[in-house]
Structure 1
């Protein structure tokens, strides 16, 4: 489903290339402290922050609140996706591999 993965240099991504088939997915690493290299990700984080302030633990939220935010983000049309939602694009990608 994913054509590329762009990660920062955090330890959680240290073994990423061993975990996926790099012949099928291109993996890119950003430079340290340059969140601008992950612009779409940073934009998405900003959308989440409309509902969940930075520093607030998701563990403290009711599951229905988290599900609402998740659904809102995944059904919001995005300019970068040709004004389709992430859900729309995901369904299209799945249809091509099933």
Structure 2
């Protein structure tokens, strides 16, 4: 009977430890904003524009409060040959829906 108890304890103890670790382990901050996800969303928003043929990101920076700005060059389809223009795109994480959205987009000459 004593060996059964030890076998049960040997089986249950690691599972209990794992459950405690999962419950009280490293917490992920739900309010944190991932710069990597923001960068990928910025690229996706630019690639979805029909006039943009290709992009060359120049800089990507945090603007605060889950807002990120991407600047660089975009090759844009025009009536003649493609034109290279500067752009700036600002994306933000919508706190209620937890989705990335385009806040502003500007394209220079």
State the TM-score bracket (shorter-chain normalisation).
under 0.3
The alignment's TM-score, normalised by the length of structure 1, stands at 0.22
RCO (CA 8 Å, sep 6+): is it higher in 1 or 2?
A: 1
The structure with the greater share of residues assigned to helix is: 1
Which one has the largest radius of gyration?
Answer: 2
The alignment's TM-score, normalised by the length of structure 2, stands at 0.20
The structure with the greater share of residues assigned to strand is: 2
